[in-house]
Structure 1
Amino acid sequence: MPNGTLEVVVAGGRRLKDQDTFGKNDAYVEVYLDKKYKQRTTTVSNTNDPVWNERFTFNVHDGDDTIHFDVYDDDVGDKDSIGKCKVKLKHVFDDGKYDEWVKLPAMLGLSSHGEIHIIMRFTLILDDEKYFSLNGDISCNRNYYTTDRLTAPPEVKFKTKMKFEPKLLVWMAVSQKGISSIYVHRSTISIKQETYLHDCIRKRLLPFINRHHKNDNILFWPDLASSHYSKQVQQFLQANQIKLVQRQENPPNVFQARPIETIWSLLEQKVYEGA
């Protein structure tokens, strides 16, 4: 599961089973990924259809795959369990959001102790750049193949190569809601922090967030290029309240967790098709 910030709203409950002999429930909900760190709603008194509309945030780490909701009747000096439920985070990660009434199953799951309304959002924005060679030289084809090295022609064995090859830089950011405007630049070196900040972050990432994620609780996940973590870039992101995956928590070479890598792979196949 990806690391990030999960936003959880406990909206309300309905038809909660009475735990009191007289009167109705004084209900509240405990929410947690790990039992060592629980958050809870306020208590809504004397109703089996409480409305909370309370918001919580959780930092999701590797290994976190389920979020738990325990509903209690708040009594003086004690609490009675109304019911418990849990939601697999995969439902949130796949769609970026979750909005459901979830049943509180009774013993053996044969009946229900009511339902609670849960809303969750997890928005991840990734960015990356890809360099495409302009001389037709594909990185995976820089070796030569022969059955006899002694008879291989010298122009094959000792092909010269420029120290700084001309390249085309392509940058983009992606999320569940689409792709940012794309930055294309001809270069012979890696992207500089000034270029990254001005042409990628200011002119493209920020408008993309404002257009598609203005009210979302987002987490920005760049790759590990040094320009992406420059002091200027981090200060700009912080000033614009864009949460950033910290460098020490950013794992290298996790292609399966970064869908943008699949985009590059497919694009590279098209660019070098027939080369």
Structure 2
Amino acid sequence: MTRGILAVHIVEGKDLKKTDEFGHGDPYVEIWLDKNAQKFKTDVRRDTPTPVWDRKYHYNVTNQCELHVRVMDEDILTDDTIGTASVDISDIYTCYYIDKWIDLPDVDGKHRDGQVHIILEYFPPHLIAEYFPSK
């Protein structure tokens, strides 16, 4: 049973770790909820450590409580991982709106390899028809 709709707005990134030998990376973001198979991917932003994606994605949610964010650097052969984070989103069901910067810890968790700015909006069933007339 659907509990509502979660809008995930991937706004921008900053201070992203450089993974390329020359120039800056070509970053993009992948997101998914809990163990959800539905994964979204932003467009690639070329040669920048401060990308602006400004993309919004929607999930039908029940009781998911974790958003997974992975920032990748597109390469010719194999894309490199810049950073990965899991975000507790359980508060979204009571506050309806969260605007935050997500730290991307390095593999050892000792420092961060950049940040991603996200905005989360939750629309409970009684608001879905008002904001999403086609649902």
Fold shared by both chains (TM-score > 0.5): yes
Output the CA distance in 1 between the equivalents of 2:40 and 2:125.
26
1:242, distance to aligned residue in structure 2 (A)? 6.8
Aligned residues: 132
Q: Which runs of 5+ in 1 are unaligned?
A: 127-217, 221-236, 244-275
Q: Are the counterparts in 1 of residues 106 and 113 from structure 2 also a CA contact under 8 Å?
A: yes
**1:133-160 alpha-carbon deviations (Å, 9 max, x no partner):** xxxxxxxxxxxxxxxxxxxxxxxxxxxx
**Which structure shows the higher strand fraction?**
2
Question: Is it true that 1:241 corresponds to 2:111 in the alignment?
Answer: no
One-letter amino acid of the counterpart of residue 70, structure 1: R
Q: Check 1:125–1:3 CA distance in 2 against 1; reply closer, same or farther (3 A cut).
A: closer
- Could you tell which deviates more after superposition, 46-55 or 92-101? 92-101
Output the CA distance in 2 between the equivalents of 1:4 and 1:17.
35
1:36, distance to aligned residue in structure 2 (A)? 2.1
Output the CA distance in 2 between the equivalents of 1:61 and 1:125.
11
Give the alignment's Cα RMSD to 1 decimal. Answer: 2.0
Output the CA distance in 2 between the equivalents of 1:8 and 1:77.
29
1:55, distance to aligned residue in structure 2 (A)? 0.7
1:21, distance to aligned residue in structure 2 (A)? 0.9
The structure with higher relative contact order (CA 8 Å, sep 6+) is: 2
> Which structure's CA Rg is the greater one?
1
| Same amino acid, percent of matched pairs | 30
Q: Which runs of 5+ in 2 are unaligned?
A: none
Output the CA distance in 1 between the equivalents of 2:117 and 2:46.
18
One-letter amino acid of the counterpart of residue 78, structure 1: T
Question: Is it true that 1:105 corresponds to 2:105 in the alignment?
Answer: yes
2:49 matched residue in structure 1: 48
1:219 matched residue in structure 2: 128
Question: Is it true that 1:71 corresponds to 2:76 in the alignment?
Answer: no
Q: Secondary structure at the match of 1:67?
A: strand
Deviating above 6 A after TM superposition, structure 1's stretches of 4 or more consecutive aligned residues are: none
Q: Check 1:70–1:76 CA distance in 2 against 1; reply closer, same or farther (3 A cut).
A: same
**1:206-258 alpha-carbon deviations (Å, 9 max, x no partner):** xxxxxxxxxxxx336xxxxxxxxxxxxxxxx8xx8174xxxxxxxxxxxxxxx
- Could you tell which deviates more after superposition, 112-121 or 26-35? 26-35
